Structure 1
Amino acid sequence: MALLSTPETSQEVPLPPEIRAKAAVGPVRAPRILRILDFFLSETLRNAPPEELVRHRVLVGAACFMLMLATLYLVSTLFAPYSPAPGIAGVLYLAILVAARRARTLVIPSVIMLITLTIGFLGGLFSNKANLEGGVHATNLLLPAFAVYLLGPRRALPFTLFLAVVMDGLYPLYVLRNVDLSSVDASFSLSRFWVRHGMAGLAFLGIWGISGLHSTARDAAHHSLERALKKLRASELKLSSIIESTDDIVVALDPEGRLLVANSAMERFYRRLFGKELELGQTLFRYSAPERVVVWRNRLALVRAGQRLRYEETYEVEGSRLVLDISMHPIFGENGRTVGVTLFAHDVTVRKEAETRLGEMHRTLVDVSRQSGMAEVATGVLHNVGNTLNSVNISTTLVTDKLRRSRVTGLAKAMGLVREHLGDLSSFLTRDAQGRQLPPYLIAVSDELVEERDAMLKEMQSLAQSVEHIKSIVSMQQKHARSAGAVEQVDVPQLIDEALRLHAVSFERLAIRIVRDYADVPLIFVDRHKLLQILINLLSNARHALVDSAQEDKCLRIHVERSAGGERLRIDVTDNGVGIAPENVAKLFTQGFTTKKTGHGFGLHISALAADEMKGKLSCTSPGPGQGATFTLELPVKGETA
């Protein structure tokens, strides 16, 4: 582009060092004759665009040729009776060469050339009185054409007008005043003389016009081409700058996989991977293992067929693992056929490592959450078992006290008397004073023993109920533990009641009123353990909110219904506890956020994740501090007829 524009208008876009290094080529050595001509040009004229340089060389070549002719003419005057005056023009031709050696533009040397030629033309015209029509010779028309070629149409116009004025007026008047027309050839015609010189002047202007039209059209086409090339080069430079500025790998291949274009990122990767420099024209997988070459060829075949590929590939580079996200796209020609392939690769190693760490963290949070849920369940189990054990202890104490005070001891003593008087038992019972008291005593003891038996049976029944309650609590916990991770058909209201039973002791002790509002909802397929974990967490949070509240009538309302569309099941857990500030509602499900002094900040976060895993959603609303809160769990209703 720089060679197609003048130094005054050329604007070079700065290239990055990498692009300049790739684009640099060695100087082209010009032919000897051109090097000789360039010697007479200044540095500025020598470095002009190609079309301008051609004009410069033509001017210098013409000056050298005319200088040689003038020199030969001067030498010939030494041996012939010619006037040396025409040879003096050689000084002007030498001045042209000196001016071209120092000038920054072609104007001054061109003006000197045209002045020299005009002087020669006019000198020969006015000095040759024998040939009155020399000015109309066709060779003279080269003067305006040469002027337009060297100076351009505008600068050549005054020179052409001057020649036309001379031909149309000055020279004919000169002839009429200084030439004896009577001595001229009899065929001479004055009218013909005026017409021919007038026509010659018009021909000078016509040649200027035609040359100017040609020059203007050529310059317009040249400038249009130059602007298009400038835009193209600017676009190429911008594209090259973008390709070089990215850290991603950018490659262009031919249909056979040979390398056409590669940016610096690709060169660095190739050098790290193979320890060799990237070579244009070679296949991209030249040094790859045979099995990888087969894979690459298969991919190229698919892309040549018009497909776009995107995949991830792992490389071992300098002892470290590198993961690239690679995309390959076909390049289509005008006929719709694939003429090449573009390949883009982005380093996703950091993202993959982050995803791995995130997965490990998620698994850790799930484990911690399950442990926390197990702790919540265990706490509820222990509360219920502890409360039941109190009843067991009371029943055991009562039975022990009754046995300790039992009248069985008195009965044993009475039976001892009966054994002593077995031989005379009838006389002992009728005649002996102690014997006569024995039957009433036995009757009384018998009545008391019956009462003791009824009381102990009652306590034993109570003890059996307490043990059965403990067994049901343990059995329920074993059922949930056994179904962890399994998707099964669940009766949601029944599962909510089981979760409430695990917190029953706390709710009773804290005088929390439970309001159940269950609509007729279908069974749903969910992970029982995850759903129970969410419910226990929500009930635990509600219990804490009610404990910290100054509300006298502490109430927990649980509402279950099916959505209007029937595709989702909704569970609302509402309390009238301490409430939640508006700025904290959006943060509730963020990991590590908690409003409780002893909270760990991941219970609700894990519950929200569990809801997402079940294709559900966990949300919260609160009118504000002191006005309670509502946690809403939405779950999909699917597989009802399974």
Structure 2
Amino acid sequence: METPPSPPPPAFRSWILERLDSLLSESLRQGSPTDLVRYRLVVGTACFFIVFNLIYTMAAVLSGLPPYPSLAASLIYVGVLVLTRRSATIESPTALLLTALSLVLIAAAFDGNAPFVSTHAICTLIPVIAVYLSGARVGLFITLLLIVPLCVGYPLYVTFAQPAPLPPTPYLMWFGHVFAGLALLGAWGVGSLHNAARDSAQGTLERTMKALQLSENKLSNLLESTEDPVLSLDKKGLLLTANSAARQLHLQRFGHEPGVGQPFWMEPERRQRWAPHVAKVHAGQRERFEDEFEVRGSRRLMDISLSPLRDGDGKVVGLTVFARDITPRRQAEARLGELHRTLLDVSRQAGMAEIATGVLHNVGNTLNSVNVSTSLVMDRLRLSRVSSVGRAAQLLHEHTGDLPTFFTRDPRGQQFPAFLQALSEQLEQERNALLKEMHSLSEGVEHIKSIVSMQQRHASSAGVREQVAMPVLIDEALRLHAASFEQLGIHVERDYAPVPLLSVDRHKLLQILVNLLSNARHALMDSPRKDKRLSIGIQPAPDGERVLIEVKDNGVGIAPENLPRLFTQGFTTKRTGHGFGLHMSALAAEELRGRLTCDSPGPGQGATFTLELPLAEEPGPRPVK
């Protein structure tokens, strides 16, 4: 991540620092900023005293004094510069410089017969420089190196060994030198305290800088680890920082990378679109919106997030831009939406197939009953005594002219009344039996008609919300499974609490109920229990805002590890199942703004499916997850 460079120093100071650095060796120039200050001080001090001694030499020549001591001192300081240019460390040049300063003063004191040389300003400068360059211990050694000869040795020399007469006030001389020695110790102490404070502050600064650098590295690594463009701008739109993804995006769009401190280029129309969002961010708000960019000839949709950039006082000084390419996500959402619509169509077809299966099953059973009734009618008609009526009529026709004689003297005529009586009773029985079978046949046809009519009614209401009485709809769903429940010996229990009419898609809700009843039928069919029971109930939820429809069976049950995956597409525990019915039932429940859940104590202990539906109608479809 790019960061803005530190501001350059003023031109004159920069020139001075360059001249000082040119007198350092390459290894010394690579030192830390703190050490580089010390190295420059050594070079600067040597240069100062070279100039100082050259001026002193010129003054000595003009005054008739010998110039050789000052020239010798200048050569020593030149040697210091030679060492700094050649040495890999600063210890040797520093030692030579401090030794030269001390010896020059000591030699000047004894040679020049200056009684108060220890009070010269340069003397107090030497302990301070020594402490700063070499530390407290070396500084103390240099300070004592000055105090002993100048503040003690020189007064003793003047008092006892100098052949010249004593100064007029020897007490004043001793007083001045003693206090000069104390002043030198004080200068060393102040320098040591300054060094200690500086080292402490420097240590704190280095730790802070290290922590700051570590934090900056972590932040930089975090920003560089993302493929999303991240950058920050000041209030003028000048670039402050940018990660590699942002620089790469800028390079792809405009042919060059953005420079720190330069305006972040943006098309005028885009700048105009962003202006309201940027104004809100400068006011301290966060903004999030979407914008399209053209990258290498393709349109990319970006999710843009703008956040205010604040200084230490909390004042907004710029903004941070986070961008994420959501084009693949939108394309995936479009594909997912298309897949969802396809699944819904398949779900409706599967639900219709399930209902149609129930319809055909019930129609088939009813047709069996109709077929039985038809066979019985045909058998009874085939065995009917109606033919006896014809024979009786033929017999009467043969004896039309002598009917009295036939009824009184002919044995057949004498039995004819009894025959007619028996025939009448037989035909009456046959008529009653045929009427009974025809009534059963009529009921079967009406049952088929009602089943087909119910299917047509539900098919025509698909996708339409209407007021539905839940007990009636549940009974219709049960009627579709009635024949199979009866064949399997499943005892059905109903428990309908009073609930108001629901505004739902009748067809979609019927599909859910048929699926749940079919699932319960399979669970009971696979169970070895003899007392197969299925209960279905309606009750209001405790909050009074929903209706609960429970379908409970005592079948094979569900293992606890399978419950979380029960409504997942493709998951099934049946050998011939496709894992589609419960998944689509759950989706259909969400479309009805409800929820489908399941609970089971475990294998062999049955299961309870609960369908929750809202009582109040809510506008608009709910998006399905």
Q: TM-score range by the shorter chain?
A: 0.7 to 0.9
Cα deviation, residue 81, structure 1: 8.7
User: Is contact 2:77–2:97 with CA below 8 Å preserved after alignment?
Assistant: yes
User: Is contact 2:46–2:77 with CA below 8 Å preserved after alignment?
Assistant: no
Give the whole-Å Cα distance in 2 for the aligned partners of 1:139 and 1:284. Answer: 56
> Cα gap change, 1:517/1:625 in structure 2, threshold over 3 Å: closer, same or farther?
same
1:106 corresponding residue in structure 2 = 90
> Cα gap change, 1:347/1:189 in structure 2, threshold over 3 Å: closer, same or farther?
same
Cα deviation, residue 240, structure 1: 3.0
Cα deviation, residue 402, structure 1: 5.5
Moved more, 504-513 or 456-465: 456-465
Query: Matched residue of 1:503: which SS?
Result: helix
User: Is contact 1:40–1:97 with CA below 8 Å preserved after alignment?
Assistant: yes
User: Is contact 1:44–1:104 with CA below 8 Å preserved after alignment?
Assistant: yes
Query: Matched residue of 2:565: which SS?
Result: coil
> Cα gap change, 1:103/1:356 in structure 2, threshold over 3 Å: closer, same or farther?
same
1:54 corresponding residue in structure 2 = 40
> Cα gap change, 1:171/1:316 in structure 2, threshold over 3 Å: closer, same or farther?
closer
Within the alignment, does 1:157 sit opposite 2:157 as a pair? no
Give the whole-Å Cα distance in 1 for the aligned partners of 2:538 and 2:505. Answer: 18
1:502 corresponds to which of 459, 468, 480: 480
Q: 1:265 is matched by which residue type in structure 2?
A: A
Q: 1:173 is matched by which residue type in structure 2?
A: L
User: Is contact 1:252–1:261 with CA below 8 Å preserved after alignment?
Assistant: yes
2:622 corresponding residue in structure 1 = none
> Cα gap change, 1:356/1:402 in structure 2, threshold over 3 Å: closer, same or farther?
same
Cα deviation, residue 602, structure 1: 1.6
Give the whole-Å Cα distance in 2 for the aligned partners of 1:217 and 1:550. Answer: 90
Within the alignment, does 1:43 sit opposite 2:26 as a pair? yes
2:102 corresponding residue in structure 1 = 118
| Cα shift readout 1:567-588 (whole Å, capped 9, x = no counterpart) | 4433332333333333333332
Equivalent residues in 2 for 1:294-313, closer than 5 Å: 294-313=272-291
2:178 corresponds to which of 198, 201, 208: 198
2:506 corresponding residue in structure 1 = 528
Aligned residues: 609
Query: Matched residue of 1:598: which SS?
Result: coil
Q: 1:100 is matched by which residue type in structure 2?
A: T
| Cα shift readout 1:383-421 (whole Å, capped 9, x = no counterpart) | 211222223333434445566666777878998999x99
Moved more, 118-127 or 132-141: 132-141
Give the whole-Å Cα distance in 1 for the aligned partners of 2:14 and 2:599. Answer: 89
Equivalent residues in 2 for 1:375-386, closer than 5 Å: 375-386=353-364
1:286 corresponding residue in structure 2 = 266
1:272 corresponding residue in structure 2 = 252
User: Is contact 1:559–1:572 with CA below 8 Å preserved after alignment?
Assistant: yes
Give the whole-Å Cα distance in 1 for the aligned partners of 2:120 and 2:273. Answer: 80
Equivalent residues in 2 for 1:402-551, closer than 5 Å: 427=401, 454-551=432-529
Give the whole-Å Cα distance in 1 for the aligned partners of 2:158 and 2:571. Answer: 114
> Cα gap change, 1:531/1:121 in structure 2, threshold over 3 Å: closer, same or farther?
same
Give the whole-Å Cα distance in 1 for the aligned partners of 2:284 and 2:571. Answer: 51
Give the whole-Å Cα distance in 2 for the aligned partners of 1:229 and 1:625. Answer: 65
> Cα gap change, 1:141/1:415 in structure 2, threshold over 3 Å: closer, same or farther?
closer
User: Is contact 1:63–1:96 with CA below 8 Å preserved after alignment?
Assistant: no
2:594 corresponds to which of 616, 627, 637: 616
User: Is contact 2:462–2:506 with CA below 8 Å preserved after alignment?
Assistant: yes
Query: Matched residue of 1:169: which SS?
Result: helix
1:93 corresponding residue in structure 2 = 77
Give the whole-Å Cα distance in 2 for the aligned partners of 1:134 and 1:275. Answer: 72
Give the whole-Å Cα distance in 2 for the aligned partners of 1:32 and 1:330. Answer: 40
Give the whole-Å Cα distance in 2 for the aligned partners of 1:294 and 1:193. Answer: 84
| Cα shift readout 1:165-201 (whole Å, capped 9, x = no counterpart) | 22343222222332346x45xx713333332332333
> Cα gap change, 1:589/1:145 in structure 2, threshold over 3 Å: closer, same or farther?
closer
User: Is contact 2:147–2:184 with CA below 8 Å preserved after alignment?
Assistant: yes
Percent sequence identity is 50
1:173 corresponds to which of 133, 148, 156: 156
Q: 1:513 is matched by which residue type in structure 2?
A: H
Q: 2:550 is matched by which residue type in structure 1?
A: D
Give the whole-Å Cα distance in 1 for the aligned partners of 2:128 and 2:9. Answer: 34
User: Is contact 2:109–2:150 with CA below 8 Å preserved after alignment?
Assistant: no
User: Is contact 2:230–2:245 with CA below 8 Å preserved after alignment?
Assistant: yes
2:566 corresponding residue in structure 1 = 588
User: Is contact 2:228–2:322 with CA below 8 Å preserved after alignment?
Assistant: yes
User: Is contact 2:54–2:71 with CA below 8 Å preserved after alignment?
Assistant: no
Cα deviation, residue 473, structure 1: 0.6
Query: Matched residue of 1:586: which SS?
Result: helix
1:250 corresponds to which of 219, 230, 248: 230
1:8 corresponding residue in structure 2 = none
Give the whole-Å Cα distance in 2 for the aligned partners of 1:461 and 1:538. Answer: 35
User: Is contact 1:285–1:296 with CA below 8 Å preserved after alignment?
Assistant: no
Cα deviation, residue 344, structure 1: 1.0
User: Is contact 2:565–2:571 with CA below 8 Å preserved after alignment?
Assistant: yes
Give the whole-Å Cα distance in 2 for the aligned partners of 1:235 and 1:166. Answer: 54
Give the whole-Å Cα distance in 2 for the aligned partners of 1:632 and 1:81. Answer: 117
User: Is contact 1:615–1:635 with CA below 8 Å preserved after alignment?
Assistant: yes
Q: 1:169 is matched by which residue type in structure 2?
A: V
Q: 1:312 is matched by which residue type in structure 2?
A: E
1:600 corresponding residue in structure 2 = 578
> Cα gap change, 1:218/1:512 in structure 2, threshold over 3 Å: closer, same or farther?
closer
Give the whole-Å Cα distance in 2 for the aligned partners of 1:219 and 1:553. Answer: 91
User: Is contact 1:558–1:574 with CA below 8 Å preserved after alignment?
Assistant: yes
Give the whole-Å Cα distance in 1 for the aligned partners of 2:69 and 2:558. Answer: 114
Cα deviation, residue 448, structure 1: 6.8
Q: 1:308 is matched by which residue type in structure 2?
A: R
> Cα gap change, 1:400/1:317 in structure 2, threshold over 3 Å: closer, same or farther?
farther
Cα deviation, residue 592, structure 1: 1.4
Gaps of 5+ in 1: 1-17
Cα deviation, residue 223, structure 1: 5.4
2:623 corresponding residue in structure 1 = none
Q: 1:267 is matched by which residue type in structure 2?
A: R
> Cα gap change, 1:137/1:558 in structure 2, threshold over 3 Å: closer, same or farther?
closer
> Cα gap change, 1:295/1:414 in structure 2, threshold over 3 Å: closer, same or farther?
farther
Cα deviation, residue 540, structure 1: 1.3
Cα deviation, residue 615, structure 1: 3.7
User: Is contact 2:21–2:40 with CA below 8 Å preserved after alignment?
Assistant: no
Give the whole-Å Cα distance in 2 for the aligned partners of 1:236 and 1:512. Answer: 72
> Cα gap change, 1:81/1:282 in structure 2, threshold over 3 Å: closer, same or farther?
closer
Cα deviation, residue 532, structure 1: 1.7
Query: Matched residue of 1:110: which SS?
Result: helix
Cα deviation, residue 535, structure 1: 1.7
1:12 corresponding residue in structure 2 = none
| Cα shift readout 1:449-501 (whole Å, capped 9, x = no counterpart) | 66665554443333322211111111111222222233333222222211111
User: Is contact 1:259–1:283 with CA below 8 Å preserved after alignment?
Assistant: yes
Cα deviation, residue 90, structure 1: 4.7
